[in-house]
Amino acid sequence: MSAKDQIKDTVAANDVVLFMKGTKEMPQCGFSSRVAGVLNYMGVEFKDVNVLADEALRQGIKDYSDWPTIPQLYVKGEFVGGCDIVTEMTLSGELDALFDQNGVTYDKDAAEKIREANA
């Protein structure tokens, strides 16, 4: 299976997917750690894909999304963005709205605490 097919299948089979360096339990870069930390804190069930484990996948995800950096967050098959975009969306409440629109379960109180801590 090609990297593109593997990515397509993973994104289609999971409501929330984070292509990252490392794993959700053990991120291996600060940007991946931040996004995984937000999702974990908000109690979002998500599939983590460690791009460091497969060079074809690491390049493949950049080609698939036409986005040059990792991490990359997908919700219901749609590319959301990288660390800066996810951070901004979390602080503005847009990430909550995206999860609500797509039926993704998350802890609304935790999301609010993130915003309060960064106000």
Spell out the domain ranges in the chain.
3-111
CB-based contact 19:49 (threshold 8 Å): yes
Note whether 59 and 71 are within 8 A (CB): no
Query: What is the C-alpha separation between 58 and 61, in angstroms, rounded?
Result: 6
- Whether 99 shows a pLDDT value over 90: the answer reads yes
Whether residue 18 contacts residue 39, with contact meaning beta carbons closer than 8 Å, is answered with yes
Which pLDDT belongs to residue 95?
98
pTM (2 decimals)? 0.96
**Distance set, CA 18 to CA 36, 43, 82, 109 (Å):** 8, 14, 9, 22
Question: Hunting for tokens 């979002």 — which residue is that?
Answer: 44
Residue 102: phi and psi, rounded to 5, are: -105, 10
Q: Are 70 and 82 in contact (CB under 8 A)?
A: yes
**Which pLDDT belongs to residue 1?**
84
Q: Which fold has domain 3-111?
A: Glutaredoxin (3.40.30)
33-71 pLDDT per residue, tens:
999 999 999 999 999 999 999 999 999 999 999 999 999
Answer for the pair 10, 37: CB distance below 8 angstroms, yes or no.
Answer: no
Rounded alpha-carbon distances, angstroms, from residue 3 to 51, 81, 101: 11, 19, 29
Candidates 49, 55, 93; CA nearest to 73 is 49
Question: Is the pLDDT at 79 greater than 90, yes or no?
Answer: yes
